[in-house]
């Protein structure tokens, strides 16, 4: 058996520790992204930037990233958390838990139903604090129908 002097072992360990500090994350396995583990397939399908047609009565831009949503409706901005229930019947359900918005909207939820068809998203949603619409037909007070198209990613 070969005997290695204690001073050499300490120097080798010190060099290894210094290398780990300098290299940092290269020595550590990168963790899986947390959002990949928690996003449902339905929520993953809604990711991205969505916009209404230029001639729409209600101008809207929606950005969904992970479980956060930013919505601009006729210049008014909202931000919050989006929750989807694709098992809801007769249409998948969408709830926006509003964290930022005008007036007393913050702290309330806007509930709706949606239909996703490729690059087209149809959302019928009640005003914050109102009941969830049951279908995709516009109508009623404080219920809004959004016809959105997914924006193309910039190259």
**How many domains does one find in the chain?**
1
pLDDT in tens, 101-129: 999 999 999 999 999 999 999 999 999 99
CATH number of the CATH domain containing 92: 2.40.128
For residue 92, tell me if it sits in a domain.
yes
For residue 25, tell me if it sits in a domain.
no
For residue 57, tell me if it sits in a domain.
yes
Instruction: Determine the Cα angle at 131 with ends 130 and 135, to 5°.
Output: 130
Q: The domain containing residue 144 runs over which residues? A: 36-150
| Rounded Cα gap, residues 29 and 128, in angstroms | 43
List the pLDDT tens digit at each of the 155 positions of the chain.
444 444 433 433 333 333 333 333 333 333 444 444 578 999 999 999 999 999 999 999 999 999 999 999 999 999 999 999 999 999 999 999 999 999 999 999 999 999 999 999 999 999 999 999 999 988 878 999 999 999 987 66
pLDDT at 138: 81
DSSP string, 118-141: TTEEEEEEEPTTSPPPSSS---ST
For residue 121, tell me if it sits in a domain.
yes
For residue 30, tell me if it sits in a domain.
no
For residue 31, tell me if it sits in a domain.
no
For residue 44, tell me if it sits in a domain.
yes
For residue 131, tell me if it sits in a domain.
yes
Number of C-beta neighbours around residue 41 at 10 A: 8
- State both tokens at 27: 């020595």
């Amino acid at each position: 058996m070969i005997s290695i002097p204690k001073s050499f072992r300490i120097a080798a360990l010190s060099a290894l520790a210094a290398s780990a500090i300098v290299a940092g994350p290269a020595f550590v396995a990168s963790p899986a992204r947390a959002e990949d583990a928690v996003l449902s397939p339905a929520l993953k399908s809604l990711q991205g930037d969505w916009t209404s047609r230029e001639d729409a009565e209600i101008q809207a831009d929606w950005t969904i990233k992970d479980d956060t949503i930013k919505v601009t409706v006729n210049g008014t901005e909202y931000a919050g958390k989006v929750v989807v229930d694709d098992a809801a019947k007769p249409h998948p359900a969408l709830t926006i838990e509003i964290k930022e918005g005008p007036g007393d909207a913050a702290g309330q939820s806007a509930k709706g139903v949606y239909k996703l068809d490729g690059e087209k998203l149809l959302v019928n949603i009640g005003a914050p604090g109102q009941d969830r619409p049951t279908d995709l037909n516009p109508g009623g007070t404080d219920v809004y129908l959004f016809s959105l198209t997914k924006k193309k990613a910039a190259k």
